[in-house]
Chains A and B, each alone.
Chain A
Amino acid sequence: RKEVEQDPGPFNVPEGATVAFNCTYSNSASQSFFWYRQDCRKEPKLLMSVYSSGNEDGRFTAQLNRASQYISLLIRDSKLSDSATYLCVVESNSGYALNFGKGTSLLVTP
Chain B
Amino acid sequence: EPEVTQTPSHQVTQMGQEVILHCVPISNHLYFYWYRQILGQKVEFLVSFYNNEISEKSEIFDDQFSVERPDGSNFTLKIRSTKLEDSAMYFCASVRDNKFSTDTQYFGPGTRLTVL
Contacts and interface: CB of A to CB of B under 8 A. Distances in A.
Given A32-B102, A46-B104, A99 B45 contact: yes
Given A42-B109, A43-B109, A102-B42, A96 B48 contact: yes
Contact of A49 (B31, B45, B102, B112): B102
A77 to B, nearest CB: 25
A43 B107 contact: yes
Interface residues of A, number: 23
B101 A98 contact: no
Interface stretch (A18-26, A56-64, A66-74, A87-95): A87-95
A98 B35 CA distance: 9
Contact of B101 (A43, A95, A99, A103): A95
Q: Chain B's interface: helix, strand, loop or mixed, by majority?
A: strand
> Chain B: interface residue count, which band?
20 to 34
Given A43-B107, A44-B107, A100 B42 contact: yes
A96 B98 contact: yes
B44 interface: yes
A95 B91 contact: no
A100 to B, nearest CB: 4
Given A43-B91, A43-B110, A98 B41 contact: no
Interface of B: 31, 33, 35, 41-45, 48, 50, 55-56, 58, 89, 91, 98, 101-102, 104-110, 112
Interface of A: 31-32, 38, 41-46, 49, 87, 91-92, 94-103
